[in-house]
Structures are given as C-alpha cells and as structure tokens.
Amino acid sequence: MTEAEITRYDGGVGVPRPVAAAVAHLRRRELLAPERKSLSDYSDSDARSVHFVARAGEQLAGYVQYDPEGRRLRQLIVASEYRAAGLGRALVAAVRDEGHRRGAPELRVHAWTDSVGFYRCVGFRPVGEVQVDGPVPWLALVMPL
C-alpha cells in the first residue's frame, strides 16, 4: 500500500486549512466537474459527515466521507498518482469501521458506473438498476457491516 496516513475529522470541526483547500480542489476536478455540481451543493452533507483525509508527506493523496444520516460512503477520490496501490481500499476500510463503530447495519454507496468494479472488489454488492438522472450514470451498492 502507498505510505499514506489517514486522518479523521468530524463534520462539526471540518477539515483544517490548508488541507481544506487541497481537498476542495481535488473534489472539484475529479468529482464535481463531471457531475456539473459545485461544493455548495454538498454543504449540508459536508457539515454532518465525517471526513477522512489521506496524506503522503505534504501531498494530498485521497479523500472520502461517511454520512451517518444515509449511512453512506461519499466523495471517494484517490489522486491519480496514488491509484492502484491500495489507498482506495484503505479509505473504504476507514469508512466501514466508522459505520460499524456507530452500529450501522450496512454501508451504502452511490457509485459511478466506471467505479463499480472497484466497489465490488472491496466488498460491496449492487442493489437495483443503473440510474441515469444526471451527467454521470450511477448504481447503488451496499456492504453489510
């Protein structure tokens, strides 16, 4: 696995500066631009979610959220230079442990169809059909906890 350290931040506290700026940049480029969304579309779920930031030295290597309201993993990104080295799996494990610790029976994700293979690989199973209600088709998957 990439030598990245994962740090957890509660939604009420938020991700500290300057990491927040790097996270926002990564989210805009990798997730929000293809979805044609902005960070303000996520202000409610950002505020109630737990944030996990992976750093490799001074570099931002990855990011993910756990949203306790929907028992959902959200906004998973591994920076392109850190992919295919196990960091996505490690970020999913951090979220899985968070849900488990809170007593959630399962973890849900709404996955872009291009990333469904990854989610299956790390233990999720599809539920329902592919949804095409925006620019990026997605599929719901769940993992029992």
> Interface residues with ligand COA (CB under 6 A)?
30, 76-78, 83-89, 111-112, 115, 117-118, 121-122
Q: Is the peptide bond before 137 cis (omega within 30 degrees of 0)?
A: no
Residue corresponding to tokens 């999720």: 124
Cβ atoms of 112 and 124 within 8 Å: the answer is no
Tokens for 108, please give them: 């849900």
- The 8-class DSSP code of residue 86 comes to S
CB of 119 to ligand COA, least distance (A): 8
Give me the least distance between CB of 130 and ligand COA, in Å please: 13
Q: Which is nearer to ligand COA, 1 or 13 (CB)?
A: 1
CB nearer to ligand COA: pick between 6 and 112: 112
Q: Which two tokens stand for residue 87?
A: 């960091």
Could you tell me the smallest distance in angstroms from the CB atom of residue 2 to ligand COA? 8
What does DSSP say about strands 106-112 and 72-78: parallel, antiparallel, or unpaired? Answer: parallel
Give the residue with the Cβ less far from ligand COA, 9 or 82: 82
Judged by CB, which is closer to ligand COA: 50, or 116? 116
Contact yes or no for 112/132 (Cβ under 8 A): no
Min CB(136)–ligand COA separation in Å: 8
